[in-house]
Copies of this chain bind each other. A is one copy, B any other.
Amino acid sequence: MAKVKVLSAKDVEELMTLPMAIEAVESAYRQKARGKGETWPMVFHEFVHGVADLDIKSGHMEDAGIFGLKLVSWYGENPGKGLPALYGTTLVFDLASGEPRALVNAGPVTDFRTGAAGAIGAKALARPDSKTLLMAGAGALAPYLIAATLYLMPGLEKVLLANPHHPEKAAEVLGTVTAQVDELLGKSGVKRGAEMAAAADLEGAVKESDIILTATPAYEPFIKAEWVRPGTHLSCVGADMSGKEEVDPALFAKAAVFGDDEGQCMSVGECEIPHAKGFLTALRGELGAVLTGDLPGRTGAEEITIFDSTGIALQDLSSAAALLKAAEEKELGVTAEL
């Protein structure tokens, strides 16, 4: 009889930290690069176009000794009924025996691991002397992306928060986002060094930034190629299904482009449309190969680099493995017989 650990959103929020998420995501990318982790075909189903859909991403990771899946459902009309639009649920199995091991509320995990992904891309590909970070998108992911990037790049001096579709609203949420960033950093024992500011003028903000993180649900590019100065790095995490795009496709023709999973980047990521329009033939490579040292990252201070993070199951599995270990130590979660 298998015993399954159930970790609730509350447990995950209590257990998860920035360094844990960063280590888990880096490990996922590295294992994928070394052929020790694999993702299986994604299942995607739309109940009603633009109203409700879901996907199932699955895979296995040798080092963590697990396989499993994450199911994310999105019901756009839920918030009107007082329910969250997104539910993410991760189911974890033992790779050695096939036995079920855990059910984890992946909601808070997704925020942490997506934030970590964007930050890992920035740390690996941005100029080490980067000073200014632009966060384009002021939604739920913004604090996680900013905090993880500040954690990995303590030399950053300034963070600009922009809301590309409602420029005036960035200032409204600046206080809340800053408080969340400080809380995330504080929980990891770090104090924010960079100054935080709202940017109503997106063009100006892009032009002064060394690193740009994009996290919006956009279907039209809002960052123009001519705004981006040489040497800039972009981590794009918004595009996670076909048709979504945030960055001018023309920029891809003059950038060094990396991704988390080449196939997924080309089919549902930020690379999809540049690839379809002929601006991008192939990735320079996957980020995992840069992290393992098998592939050079940035090749000069003038190069524009892009990291397309589409989100792979291994990030969730690796994070779930780390959470289970932490839950064991802190005796959190419910253990149920299955």
Chain A residues within 8 Å of B, Cβ to Cβ: 1-2, 4, 6, 8-10, 40-41, 43, 45, 47, 52, 54, 56, 58, 60, 67, 69, 71, 73-75, 78, 81, 83, 87, 89, 91, 93, 97-100, 103, 105, 334, 336-338
Give the complex CA separation of A74 and B47 in angstroms.
31
Provide a sorted-by-A list of 14 A–B residue pairs whose CB atoms are within 8 angstroms. A2-B105, A4-B103, A6-B6, A6-B336, A40-B56, A45-B60, A56-B69, A73-B99, A83-B97, A89-B91, A89-B338, A91-B103, A103-B103, A103-B336
Name, among A4, A52, A81, the residue most crowded by chain B CB atoms within 10 Å (CB to CB).
A4
Q: Which residues of B contact A83 (CB under 8 A)?
A: 97, 99
The answer to whether A1 and B6 touch (CB under 8 A), given A87-B99, A338-B89, is no
Give the complex CA separation of A91 and B58 in angstroms.
14
Contact between B67 and A69 (Cβ–Cβ < 8 Å)? no
The 4 closest A-B pairs by CB, nearest first: A73-B98, A6-B336, A334-B336, A75-B98
Contact between B75 and A97 (Cβ–Cβ < 8 Å)? yes
Task: Name the distance in Å between A224's Cβ and chain B's nearest Cβ.
Answer: 36
Task: Name the distance in Å between A324's Cβ and chain B's nearest Cβ.
Answer: 15
Q: Which residues of B contact A81 (CB under 8 A)?
A: 97
With beta carbons under 8 angstroms apart, the residue of B1, B8, B43 that contacts A8 is B1
Q: Which residues of B contact A91 (CB under 8 A)?
A: 71, 89, 91, 103
Task: Name the distance in Å between A63's Cβ and chain B's nearest Cβ.
Answer: 15
The answer to whether A4 and B1 touch (CB under 8 A), given A87-B98, A334-B336, is no
Q: Which residues of B contact A71 (CB under 8 A)?
A: 69, 91, 93
With beta carbons under 8 angstroms apart, the residue of B73, B100, B337 that contacts A89 is B100
The answer to whether A10 and B103 touch (CB under 8 A), given A40-B45, A78-B98, is no
Beyond the given pairs A4-B6, A6-B338, A45-B60, 18 more chain A to chain B contacts, judged by CB atoms under 8 angstroms and listed by A's residue number, are A1-B10, A4-B103, A6-B337, A8-B336, A8-B338, A9-B338, A10-B337, A40-B56, A41-B41, A41-B43, A69-B71, A73-B93, A75-B97, A81-B97, A103-B336, A103-B338, A334-B334, A334-B337
